[in-house]
Structure 1
């Protein structure tokens, strides 16, 4: 794992540096360094208040979604699982829409807090439905509950938007899923969830390795399958909630990053601990690169983040579906 991890670290550092230079105007290294060291002027202001925050948020958001996707795919044994399946995006969107339309929330900090509460509330609702049907810890039941809750919450969101169209402009800015024009203070919402998610994932690494076999084998060696699954899904939801709070719904990243991480491993069956590290780095790298592309491909405008990620995510999703069809045959 050492070689891929080092390569990803170097690539991420290069992407972060390039992100500070790239945009409508490409700055020289001297301009960027001067801005970071406290320089003054319009260029320094753009670097420190626009490009630096969006790059930092991209790193944290990408790492969070990469790890969240890995946890979901591991505990459900479903390569198509991603954070949105727990209703995280739908819950965050509903609470943000409710906050803007009913309480007049306008600040990004307020929107971010509403997103966190909505994402966690939606996940709690998914777990409650799963448990009430006798399927607590069952991945199929949990995913089905997630689909149901996400569809229900999305319909509520659309209803609120129809009632108060004046809030549509504010909501579209957040619902589009982007790192642009975000204050660096939003990291206060994402960094704690990332730290908790990483620590919790590392503690669960060994039980998750055992869960790759089957539930009976895991129980035979003393693993509490239901508890491990619920804890891992809870961590996945927390990670995704922090990301949604900072950037809004970012699609495909939680699906793509873990699969690319697996392809970078040395062994045929990499350990969960290895995949945690590689998924964090891969997710962060993809997020920063996608943000750079969004800035430069349609300059002087900016492409939607989800559209850029879809260029990678959709082909990979088709490939995975094709592979599952082949296995079924």
Structure 2
């Protein structure tokens, strides 16, 4: 845990120092202690710092949301991206951009929450139909179908409106470049509340993991736990999409890495996910800055490239067929 915390701190420092305009540690410190309005001072305060905070918030939110989703559904493939939560939030934001002309997270965050909530409800209801209820395979298929539906509608809206397309095209792949001081602090309280709700269901998730019937005999109030967990997922996933766009695979991959350290106790898994999620996202963002200098590869592209093989591994590995 100490090593993981040190890695997260190192990723934060590297996120401030590394980019198309490299900075020294002394320059970064001077931007906070002796601000003079130089180029390096402005880069640190108005570009790198908000971007780093956005990566921290989005990483924590996606990782915790994925952990809670996997626990509630007992589905190792559950995640904000794979089950359509990100797609629903993205569609709602595109509608806010195209219809209301909103372009900043402070304006469309409520639409992100609404889209995430509708997506979660729709996918769960659709995946629960038929024999066997909400099985992992049915939920994954329902999420894929809903993601395709939202993606087609989103594409149609952006292609019909050039202004919306210009605002949307960099954000849709998952990016931290548009973060500013105001937006990150507006989103932070929602991430904090979502994290509290996720922690609140940590112990009941351990009971749900052994089955609903046994969980009931242990006194677990399944409806209350699922409602609380779902509210936390909506807040976390909606906040992440509002500030960074639909970043893929972080919510799917991080919980599995966390289990390698914490075992299957969700109290430990949530703590490890909260550390590993932002570390992974910030490192991906830094990698995107250095691979194509002086241009940048958006963080969502890096996480998708790295996460796809992991998804194939999960699908083919029988040991993770159930949680």
Is the contact made by 1:19 and 1:55 (CA closer than 8 Å) also made in structure 2? Answer: yes
Distance in 2 between residues matched to 1:130 and 1:168, nearest whole Å: 32
Deviation at 1:168, TM superposition (A): 1.1
Corresponding residue for residue 26 of structure 1: 22
Residue 147 of structure 1: how far off its partner (Å):
4.0
Query: Which residue of structure 2 aligns with residue 11 of structure 1?
Result: 7
Query: Bigger shift: 200-209 or 117-126?
Result: 117-126
Range with greater deviation from structure 2 (29-38 or 144-153) = 144-153
Write the distance in 1 (CA, Å) between the matches of 2:114 and 2:214.
37
Q: What is the number of equivalent residue pairs in this alignment?
A: 320
How far apart are 1:286 and its partner, in Å? 0.5
Verify: 1:169 aligned to 2:166, yes or no: yes
State yes or no: 1:297 paired with 2:294. no
CA apart distance, 1:219: 1.5
Contact 2:91 2:154 in 1 (8 A): yes
> Does structure 2 retain, via aligned residues, the 8 Å contact 1:55–1:288?
yes
Q: Is the 8 A contact 2:76 2:320 kept in 1?
A: no
Cα distance between partner residues in 2 of 1:311 and 1:85: 15
Structure 1 stretches of at least 4 aligned residues deviating more than 6 Å after TM superposition: 325-328
The yes-or-no answer on 1:218 pairing with 2:215 is yes
Q: Distance in 2 between matches of 1:70 and 1:80?
A: 10
Pairing 1:1-329 to 2, within 5 Å after superposition: 5-40=1-36, 41-126=38-123, 138=134, 140=136, 145-265=142-262, 269-324=263-318
Q: Distance in 2 between matches of 1:279 and 1:158?
A: 32
> Residues 191-214 of structure 1, C-alpha deviation per residue, up to 9 Å, x if partnerless?
222222222222212211111112
> Contact 2:81 / 2:249 at 8 angstroms: preserved in 1?
no
Q: TM-score, normalised by structure 1?
A: 0.88
Cα distance between partner residues in 2 of 1:206 and 1:31: 45
Q: CA deviation at 1:145?
A: 4.7
Q: CA deviation at 1:282?
A: 0.4
Q: What is the rounded CA distance, in whole Å, between the counterparts of 2:239 and 2:261 in structure 1?
A: 26
Q: CA deviation at 1:44?
A: 0.4
Shift of 1:126: 4.3
Q: Do the aligned partners of 2:127 and 2:135 also contact (CA within 8 Å) in 1? A: no
- Cα RMSD of the aligned pairs, angstroms, is 2.6
Q: Is the CA contact 2:284–2:299 (under 8 Å) kept in the aligned structure 1?
A: yes
Offset at residue 237 of structure 1 (A)? 2.3
Q: Give the SS at the match of 2:300.
A: helix
**Stretch moving more, 238-247 or 115-124:** 115-124
- 238-247 or 203-212, which deviates more: 203-212
Query: Secondary structure in 2 aligned to 1:251?
Result: coil
Indicate the SS of the match to 1:174: coil
Q: Which moved more, 1:180-189 or 1:39-48?
A: 180-189
Partner Cα distance (1:215, 1:110) in 2: 40
Q: Give distance in 2, aligned partners of 1:237 and 1:167.
A: 24
Cα distance in 1 between the residues matched to 2:274 and 2:285: 17
1:86 CA drift (Å): 4.2
